Structure 1
Amino acid sequence: MSDSVNIHRYLLAVSAFIAFSLLSTLTTAAEARHGIAMHGQLKYPSDFQYFDYVNPEAPKGGSLREASIGTFDSLNPFIIKGTVADGTSLLYDTLLSRALDEPFSLYGLLAEQLRVADDRSWIEFDLRPEARFSDGQPVTAQDVVFTFETLLEKGSPFFKSYYAGISDIQALSERSVRFEFGSSLNRELPLIVGEIPILPAHYWAGRDFAAPSLDIPVGSGPYTISQLDPGRSLTYERRRDYWAADLPVNRGRYNFDQRQFDYYRDGTVALEAFKAGEYDFRSENASKAWATGYTGAPFDDGRIRKEEIAHSNPRGMQGFIMNTRRPLFSDKRVREALANAFDFEWTNRNLFYGAYTRSNSYFSNSEMAATELPSPDELRILEPVRDQVPPEVFTQVYQAPSTDGSGRNRQQLRTALHLLQQAGWTLKNGKLVNAEGKPFHFEILLVQKEFERVVSPFIRNLERLGISADIRIVDVSQYINRLRQFDFDMVVYGFGQSSSPGNEQRDYWSSEAAKTPGSRNLIGIQDPAVDYLVEQLITAPDREQLVLRARALDRVLQWNHYVIPHYHISAWRIAYWNKFEHPKVSPTYDLGLDTWWMKP
């Protein structure tokens, strides 16, 4: 063999060794961590024993029974088909577990430790060797790879949007997995991949993942399903062999032996069942029921307790959602006009006992709400889309139409009629018609009969404008299917927000989501300016920029009048039979029901 061939092989070997060494150096240079924060530092050190909002000595035992409304026909929450049962998150563990007293910080659960690039272009997880699924099989890196590949290929469209930035997933060994990201600008991606429930590849082999099923799934979480009455009830049983029961992120949690969900046809029936002792815990979202329905002997003698627990959660936006795919709602002036027909002040005084605050922002109850004129720093974010957004974005602070609460909102209705006339509508013989003589008519789709009392006064005001609107109440399954197919004119819907908004904003507002059945862009927004601002928010490099970019997005959504804003409250309203206790310190961003326990 010639010397030149030997030298060539030697150089190839050296090159390969250098390349491997560089990759190893890049990987090992990233320090192993016990957790990761979206912005800033972690609150809890690597040797923490439990979260501040739990009782580490909470006794185990007893049962917690809750109510659900409607029915269910599936135990697979990851697909678009079927109506999934409540509580399925109890079946699964995630790589990381969220601290409920930090804006967005995660600590190791399935993952014993993690390593992340300084620019967050990749992250690696080392799985705990003791991690087990409920059938005794170990949780491996291949299960992690299988989970993400399956969700992206066969799961709900939400996953394709939410995890669009993942460029590669590799199992480095049996217990180590690496995620590569197509861009280092999306700083949230390393965190949100840590929050997805990990599925067992061996269980799903040979099963149709895309089909709804009532087969009891295998998971690695704290509970499994012990009883199932399809469509009516299901019971989750605490696993005595749960592998992660004593981890710091779980200490003081999952204290009930059983978590039971019973289904009722509507909220009125469910409330009466609660007062009769048919179930134990209730979170109330109806002000009238809270003010007048929680009375009687069990409340007077202390057998049932009522509490309002304040929280710091952003409340997002709930409202009448207009489907802009419908020509009727494609004109911004029409949408603005309809907002003048909803008399919040009268509704709050007469129906809600003054309990609510009007929502003016898509990030209500948070520092991300646009409540003042844009600052110079925010103007720099908005400048590239100046010509694509309503001019009011730069000159006015949005406020939803308001009244004196008397029910005589003539001024608001005059404003509405003027806007409708600008949009080409004419009032003839008491009916609002367009240039072709077609009347202004639409349907409001509801799933909760109780909301009819809120909608009816709104419809009466619309009638004064010559607009006819009908209420259609459907069952849960039909409602879900119609929303998934965007088959509605107007619905009551809410866009929830976290303390650290990010990739989910694509599913709410992006042009791609508007064309994807099953997405949460029910409005049908297809606006390049909104797309740009969503990406700006997702790629925010720090908390300060996150807040500024959220405000910029908020303004553009506000002034496009996509929704008729409703209201919010910044407290949990709960009632429960007096056989439970909960920690004295409540988590900042959640109710923390899994930290409660049964009284001895």
Structure 2
Amino acid sequence: MTPHRPRARATTRVLVRSFPLSAWMAAMVLTLAAALAALPAKAEEVIKSHGYSYFGDLKYPADYAHFDYVNPDAPKGGEIALWAPGTFDSMNPYSRKGRAGRYSWMVYESLLGEEPAAGGGAPADVYGESYGLLAESLEYDAGKTWVIFHMRPEARFSDGAPVTAHDVVFSHNLLLEQGLPSYAQAVKKRVLSAEALDDYTVKFTFATGISRRSLIDQVGGVPVWPRHWFEQTDARLDEPRMDAAPGSGPYMLDSYEINRRIVYKRNPDYWGKDLPINVGRHNFDRIRIEYFGDDSAAFEAFKAGEYTFRAEGNSKQWATGYEFPAVQKGWVKLETLPDGTPPDPSGIVFNLGREIFKDKRVREAVSLAYNFEWTNQSLQYGLFKQRNSFVEGSHLEAKGVPTGKELELLKSLGDLVPPELLTEPAVMAHTSDPDRLKDRRNLRKAMKLLDQAGWPVGSDGMRRNAKGDLLTVQFPIATSGSATLEAVVETFVQNLRAMGIDAKFEKIDPSQYTLRTRDRDYDLVFDGYRTFLDTGTGLHQMYGSAEAAFSLFNPAGLASPLVDKIIDISLETTNAEDRDVALTALDRVLRFERFMIPVWYNDSSWVAYWDMFGHPAELPTYSLGVLDFWWYDTDKAAALKAAGALR
């Protein structure tokens, strides 16, 4: 998995079990033993393919013409303009320092296509499949102990230099030396070597004794940078800079004004424009990003036509803001588009490194201060739904008490599993009074929990522990956020103060906010994780213990031996049914840990755009695809300009 994505991969070795095995687990062990015993006989079996999925099933055959959902005749041309909040001071998206420009990673490609949401190459109508991009094919042994990629000799960086196996090896090593520590630590344990067999053939060899998951797709998803450019400039991957390395992708940096705008242009000499993986895609000549200090300023600019496409996340804005003349005249189009992916589990995240939050009773009490029903009705126009699960609405969502194979799995884990996990229903978000911000029933329950946890109320109405320390909670938010989010946090803090908690929220500028979130300098933060429909070692980087102290993808710092064990089990499954059982158990346990207060979600995408774009009538399940497979309609754009709608 590509290192620039929150789903970047990591792993830990499967622990030796010291607890009794159930029938279910015993059967799994026997299956694994049989598979391992069969490995020597399969050692010479080599699988050759034009793409990759873990179980070997691919929707698209080797001679596919294009992805099913694209318009293969989509016109090329025109510009789409979007907005971004805050500021930027770097065009290097791989550094922990500075604020990288929006979509600055988009100019780079990998051996296998990745990131369908922004046109990286993986199909958006299937999950867990990748097809050759810089690589025309790959081969690997049945045991997945190595993989060889055969690269396309025609691939070129935007400066005209060929993309070679030496660049792939260089990029792999550069990430290990200068990339995120959590990424480097994990990959070094799993990838033993990367070697260029010749200019266009690269081989990766993997460690033994670990899961075969997330190995081939990991190395196949690494962005490839030009070795010659780094050697000539002495640039580092871990430092912010405005001069970006040339990429091999369909777009290249055209211009920028720091903190105002970035413009990418489609490379007219893009080497891969006629590949089946790219047909009907990358249709805009220019992608312009306009920066604004906050959402209000950005919305006013959209109304004035300063940018042309807006994905709306503010329910108040969606409900009441789109009544301006351009909408009434039909110049701006509003659409509610389906979104088939489970919502990313966002919410109010506890910093588990804080001593006050090590007690789950305190976390549950604080959670009870959030009133979804009142918030949704009073601040969000009733447009959202309450999220309960980390895989909301999917077949993996844990429901009720565990039964069947899930129960067998949990029982097999012995003392790691609290007894109530086996007998109580999956944790659900609490319900609240929609007509009253302060739900007295929930506040009474919360205050009782705080009393039990050793935080009684003093004579001044504030809660202190036995040492006399105030129960204090700091909640930073960025000034670039929406007014609705600020109102949600402010009312949540009001309820915390009603409990006797010394709670404060502070608005800080985006750059300071970025620095504080990277350093986990908060008690509570509005943040999120990534959902999952498949297993992968990226689960360890998000939810596992090994990198919990520093992983940017684990804002709570969750470190649970039970979570680790279930992730390990999911990685060792050999069929989809057992994998899904393990992932359902993972959802159940993550909810039981109460490290995040689940908030709202939208099962659709709200978009507004000046009526100059087209998109396929049937959108794929896993991506809206605005920068991927939408296109510019010349006639519609001309009509808007003729009407005086746009300059």
Which segment is superposed worse, 140-149 or 526-535? 526-535
Of 606, 609, 617, which residue of structure 2 is paired with 1:576? Answer: 609
- How is 1:58-457 mapped onto 2 (pairs within 5 angstroms)? 58-97=74-113, 98-160=122-184, 163=187, 164-183=189-208, 185-205=211-231, 206-396=234-424, 397-407=426-436, 408-429=438-459, 430-447=461-478, 448=481, 450=483, 451-457=485-491
Q: Deviations over 1:509-553 (max 9, x none)?
A: 22222222x522221222222222222233333322222212212
Equivalent position of 1:53 in the other structure: 69
SS in structure 2 opposite 1:455? helix
Counterpart Cα distance in 1 of 2:567 and 2:349: 20
Is contact 1:92–1:220 with CA below 8 Å preserved after alignment? yes
4+ residue segments displaced more than 6 Å: 25-28
Of 510, 514, 526, which residue of structure 1 is paired with 2:559? Answer: 526
Counterpart Cα distance in 2 of 1:501 and 1:29: 25
SS in structure 2 opposite 1:172? strand
Is contact 1:449–1:473 with CA below 8 Å preserved after alignment? no
Which segment is superposed worse, 379-388 or 230-239? 379-388
Of 591, 595, 598, which residue of structure 1 is paired with 2:624? Answer: 591
Q: Deviations over 1:98-151 (max 9, x none)?
A: 111001111111000011222222221100010111111111111111111111
Question: Do residues 472 (structure 1) and 483 (structure 2) align?
Answer: no
Is contact 1:392–1:559 with CA below 8 Å preserved after alignment? no
- How is 1:2-21 mapped onto 2 (pairs within 5 angstroms)? none
Equivalent position of 1:559 in the other structure: 592
Shift of 1:382: 2.2
Which segment is superposed worse, 303-312 or 476-485? 476-485
Shift of 1:161: 5.2
Is contact 1:161–1:507 with CA below 8 Å preserved after alignment? no
Q: Show structure 2 runs of 5+ residues with no match.
A: 1-40, 114-121, 635-647
Counterpart Cα distance in 2 of 1:191 and 1:159: 15
Counterpart Cα distance in 2 of 1:364 and 1:39: 25
Is contact 2:352–2:358 with CA below 8 Å preserved after alignment? yes
Is contact 2:347–2:527 with CA below 8 Å preserved after alignment? yes
Shift of 1:370: 1.2
Counterpart Cα distance in 2 of 1:449 and 1:300: 24
Which segment is superposed worse, 161-170 or 341-350? 161-170
Shift of 1:31: 3.4
Question: Do residues 546 (structure 1) and 579 (structure 2) align?
Answer: yes
Letter in 2 for 1:289: Q
Shift of 1:404: 3.2
Counterpart Cα distance in 1 of 2:256 and 2:304: 23
The alignment's TM-score, normalised by the length of structure 1, stands at 0.92
Counterpart Cα distance in 2 of 1:130 and 1:546: 39
Is contact 2:44–2:141 with CA below 8 Å preserved after alignment? no
Q: Deviations over 1:245-279 (max 9, x none)?
A: 01011011111111011110011110110111000
Shift of 1:83: 0.8
Letter in 2 for 1:528: P
Counterpart Cα distance in 2 of 1:109 and 1:465: 56
Counterpart Cα distance in 2 of 1:344 and 1:305: 30
Counterpart Cα distance in 1 of 2:539 and 2:297: 36
Q: Compute the RMSD of aligned alpha carbons.
A: 1.8
Aligned length: 575
Equivalent position of 1:4 in the other structure: none
Which segment is superposed worse, 73-82 or 157-166? 157-166
Equivalent position of 2:117 in the other structure: none
Counterpart Cα distance in 2 of 1:33 and 1:129: 18
Shift of 1:368: 1.8
Is contact 2:42–2:143 with CA below 8 Å preserved after alignment? no
Counterpart Cα distance in 2 of 1:293 and 1:386: 55
SS in structure 2 opposite 1:328? helix
Is contact 1:185–1:541 with CA below 8 Å preserved after alignment? no
Shift of 1:406: 2.1
Counterpart Cα distance in 1 of 2:410 and 2:528: 26
Counterpart Cα distance in 2 of 1:383 and 1:316: 29
Q: 1:515–1:44: structure 2 CA closer, same or farther, 3 Å change rule?
A: same
Is contact 2:213–2:536 with CA below 8 Å preserved after alignment? no
Is contact 1:133–1:219 with CA below 8 Å preserved after alignment? yes
Q: Deviations over 1:416-441 (max 9, x none)?
A: 11111111111123211111222211
Is contact 1:226–1:235 with CA below 8 Å preserved after alignment? yes
Letter in 2 for 1:121: T
